[in-house]
Amino acid sequence: MPGGGGLPGQAGGGANQALAGRGTLVGLNTTKTTSLRFFSARPGTSVQESGLLEDVHITSEPRSNSLIVSAPAKTMELILAVVRELDVTAAARAEINTFTLKKADAFQVAQLLQQLFLGSARTGVLPGGGALPGVPGAAGTTSGANRPILTLTGDVSDGASLIDLRISVDDRTNSLLVAGSRNDLDTVRAIISKLEDTEVQQRSSMVYKLRNVAAADVAQTLTTFFTNELNVTTGAGLGTAYFQLQRSLVAVPDAISNSVLVSAPPPMLAHVQQILEKLDAQPLQVLIQVVVAQVDLSSNDEFGVELGVQTPVLFQRSVLAAGAIPAANPGFAFNTTAALPTNQLTTPNVVGLQSIGNLGVGRVSPTGTVGGLIMQASSDALNVLVRALRNQSRIEVLSRPQIMTTDNQAAAISIGQNVPFLSNVTFNGVTGLPTQSIDRRDVGVILNVTPRISPDGRVVMRVRPEVSSVVPQPINLGNGVIGTAFNIQTIDTTIAANDGETVAIGGLITQRDSKSENKVPWLGDLPGVGALFRFRTRAQSRQELLVILTPHVIYSQADADRILADETRRLDSMFGKLVKYPGNGHCMTPTAPGAIPESAPAGSLPMPQKTPDSTTPAPAPATIIPPSAGVTTPNPTVQTSTVVIPANATAPSGKESRTWSAGPSK
């Protein structure tokens, strides 16, 4: 070093120290010596020391990446030691690994690593890779160690805080390409290995065969129920991806087999199966009996007298010469509202007088096709007509429609005709002629009902009975348009009734009394003789309508058998003959000829015991014995069977019981 001299505390400073006690000398030179020492961090290396660094020349050789050094021997050792320390692999070394995932999704794992290493949301990682946002060295971010260093053992490797972490996603192979320090790669490898080794809960599927309800309805119900349930939890902030995966359900109906295909997590599938069993429970059936009683009473009275007088010359003028055969118009029937005869060839200079009382009596009733008692006398000068009629009618209609349906299912029965009638009218724009289209409607006894059985046994019904008929006379609507009128009695209501309870759901009583009188003023009001100058009619009518309804809940086969027997007894005209009833192609016949009276006693078959604590044991229901194997029947499409009435199915005391058997229809 320039200036020379020894280090403090070494020889070479003694002359100055010796002279210091004698005073200060002016104009003398001072010499100082400095040396360099190099301490290596590597263990086992010696300390290198050099004196003055002079005559040192260093030249670089880029072609061979070499240094050409010229220096004193002691200084050369120092320079070589420094070069050896610097010419090592850098501590901040980045590595790259490829992780091929077998179970997990590469894109989701990349988002998870981003959230783990940076503590940020799962956004920003796209296929193709790139530096994680916020990592030192990433584009668009500030440098600095602003993320935690994650390790597996607690010891941080060299350069862990200097190298950023980069993740790329290969969608084709579902792989992750991760570049970073050894510390980060070891951590990523451990995380991916743990995720890959963990078994993911798989979804389960099942096919549920339905017996009583439609598969499409059940699938729609399940989908709606679980979707709404999931929406509730999602709205409460619990709708994570894992939660939605555990609560999601897929239900698809198969109409051909009436089955529901269900896909759900295994813990949820058992709950779904319980719901399906309850939805597919055997529904109760209801027999609805409706009685519509209608009575129409009518009475029409007609009595009238018409008098007409004229001079004979008017009768002569009414003989019109039409060709060779003269025709009388009006002739003897001159008591009409037509104009007087106008034959100018018969005594045109004679005045003819005519006085008639035309009150609309006629020879036929205006309301029908009969005239009643008719007395008439006529001549060329006199015409007398007397008519009296009384028309009475009584119409009784008793309609008893009944229909069986399942709980909460609409049912309809229509007994009558499908009548065509003229409906819409369109007019031709050129000719102006009307054109009517034809429509059709059901006419007769119609019953529409939708029952709903409550848990306590009450039946709530939306019922609409209708009794309708066509009015025989068409209605002229004008302009050549003809309309059709219908007599309709209908009730639309919702009621509630107990099992077997009869209730009146509607009724109507209409009474009408119409009087009409055509008379000659003053003369018709005279006592006694006034009847010769008037025509009186009186129409009385009374309509009564009553609709009653009785529901019967079918809890078991015994209930169905009891109702079948009750309805069979009502067919009085069919007793003693073959009584056919719907179901299984069987028919019920008495065991002996003449054993069935015209009116079988009620209660000949046992009533089912509905209370489990009853002291009287419930009779066993009738059993159906299938046909024996190998038995050939006359009609192969009809199966034979026998209805066996149990031994305890006896009639009440004092009443006659009957035994029935079922055989093939004949």
Closest C-alpha to 47, from 70, 9, 86, 81? 81
Is the pLDDT reported for residue 423 higher than 60? yes
**Following DSSP, what letter does each residue of 200-254 receive, concatenated?**
PPPPEEEEEE-SSS-HHHHHHHHHHHHHHHHHHHHHTT---HHHHHHH--EEEEE
Q: What is the mean pLDDT of residues 331-343?
A: 78
Give the pLDDT of residue 62. Answer: 86
DSSP H helices, 368-446, are none
**CATH domain 204-281 topology:** Ribosomal Protein S8; Chain: A, domain 1 (3.30.1370)
Give the pLDDT of residue 120. Answer: 61
Instruction: Write out the H or E segment, with its range, that includes residue 426.
Output: strand 411-427
Rounded-to-integer distance, Cα 152 and Cα 187, Å: 6
Give the pLDDT of residue 63. Answer: 87
What is the percentage of the chain residues whose pLDDT exceeds 70? 68
pLDDT tens column, 597-651: 434 343 333 334 444 444 444 444 433 333 333 333 333 333 333 333 333 333 3
Instruction: Give the phi and the psi of residue 175 in degrees, each rounded to 5.
Output: -120, 160
Q: For all residues of the chain together, what is the average pLDDT?
A: 74
Q: How confident is the model at residue 147 (pLDDT cuts 50, 70, 90)?
A: low
Return the top range by mean pLDDT from 135-139, 325-329, 627-631.
Answer: 325-329
- Find residue 383's DSSP bridge partners: 308, 378
Q: What is the mean pLDDT of residues 493-508?
A: 90
Pair 405, 399: CB distance under 8 Å = no
Is the pLDDT reported for residue 459 higher than 90? yes
Q: What is the mean pLDDT of residues 435-462?
A: 89
What number of CA atoms fall less than 13 Å from residue 628's CA on the CB side? Answer: 3
Torsion angle of the four alpha carbons 528, 534, 535, 539, in this order, in degrees rounded to the nearest 10: -70
Is the pLDDT reported for residue 43 higher than 70? no
Q: Is 218 exposed, middle or buried (0-12, 13-18, 19+ CB in 10 A)?
A: buried
Separation in Å, CA 391 to CA 71, 129, 376, 532, 534: 155, 104, 21, 22, 20
Q: How confident is the model at residue 652 (pLDDT cuts 50, 70, 90)?
A: very low
Give the pLDDT of residue 250. Answer: 92
Q: What is the 3-state secondary structure (H, E, C) of 452-507?
A: EECCCCCEEEEEEEEEEEECCCCEEEECCEEECCEEEEECCEEEEECCCCCEEEEE
Give the pLDDT of residue 572. Answer: 60
Lowest mean pLDDT among 171-180, 237-246, 513-522, 642-651: 642-651
Give the pLDDT of residue 609. Answer: 41
Instruction: Write out the H or E segment, with its range, that includes residue 326.
Output: strand 325-328
Is the pLDDT reported for residue 440 higher than 80? yes
Rounded-to-integer distance, Cα 521 and Cα 504, Å: 52
Is the pLDDT reported for residue 57 higher than 60? yes
The two tokens of residue 475 are: 């209605």
Higher-pLDDT residue of 636, 67: 67
Is the pLDDT reported for residue 159 higher than 80? no
Give residue limits of the domains in the chain: 57-86, 93-116+163-200, 204-281, 393-427+434-577
Query: Residue 619 contacts by C-beta under 8 Å, 6 or more apart in sequence?
Result: 558, 606, 608, 609, 646, 648, 649
- Find residue 388's DSSP bridge partners: 303, 373
What number of CA atoms fall less than 13 Å from residue 340's CA on the CB side? Answer: 16
Return the top range by mean pLDDT from 16-25, 544-553, 628-637.
Answer: 544-553
Q: Is 21 exposed, middle or buried (0-12, 13-18, 19+ CB in 10 A)?
A: exposed
Return the top range by mean pLDDT from 37-46, 198-207, 300-309.
Answer: 300-309
Give the pLDDT of residue 44. Answer: 62
Give the pLDDT of residue 42. Answer: 64
Closest C-alpha to 363, from 301, 300, 315, 306? 306
Closest C-alpha to 460, from 468, 470, 473, 451? 451
Give the pLDDT of residue 34. Answer: 60
Q: How confident is the model at residue 448 (pLDDT cuts 50, 70, 90)?
A: very high
Is the pLDDT reported for residue 377 higher than 50? yes
Higher-pLDDT residue of 428, 267: 267
Give the pLDDT of residue 10. Answer: 39
Q: How confident is the model at residue 344 (pLDDT cuts 50, 70, 90)?
A: low
Roughly what angle, to the nearest 10 degrees, separates helices 182-197 and 106-118? 130
Q: How confident is the model at residue 15 (pLDDT cuts 50, 70, 90)?
A: very low
Rounded-to-integer distance, Cα 438 and Cα 246, Å: 59
Give the pLDDT of residue 602. Answer: 39
Overall residue count recorded for the chain in this entry: 666
In the sheet that holds 259-264, the strands lie side by side as 204-209, 259-264, 250-254
Is the pLDDT reported for residue 657 higher than 90? no
**CATH domain 93-116+163-200 topology:** Ribosomal Protein S8; Chain: A, domain 1 (3.30.1370)
Rounded-to-integer distance, Cα 586 and Cα 638, Å: 8
Q: How confident is the model at residue 496 (pLDDT cuts 50, 70, 90)?
A: very high
Is the pLDDT reported for residue 220 higher than 90? yes
Q: How confident is the model at residue 145 (pLDDT cuts 50, 70, 90)?
A: very low
Give the pLDDT of residue 210. Answer: 93
Is the pLDDT reported for residue 362 higher than 50? yes
Residue located via tokens 């001159």? 334
Instruction: Write out the H or E segment, with its range, that includes residue 554.
Output: strand 534-554
Is the pLDDT reported for residue 565 higher than 80? yes
Closest C-alpha to 490, from 540, 428, 444? 444
How many C-beta atoms surround the C-beta of residue 197 within 10 A? Answer: 8
Instruction: Write out the H or E segment, with its range, that includes residue 624.
Output: strand 623-625
Q: What pTM does this model have?
A: 0.51
Q: What is the mean pLDDT of residues 426-447?
A: 82
Rounded-to-integer distance, Cα 249 and Cα 236, Å: 20
Q: What is the mean pLDDT of residues 555-582?
A: 69
* Cis omega (within 30 of 0) for bond into 366: no
Is the pLDDT reported for residue 404 higher than 70? yes
Is the pLDDT reported for residue 506 higher than 60? yes
Closest C-alpha to 141, from 156, 124, 116? 124
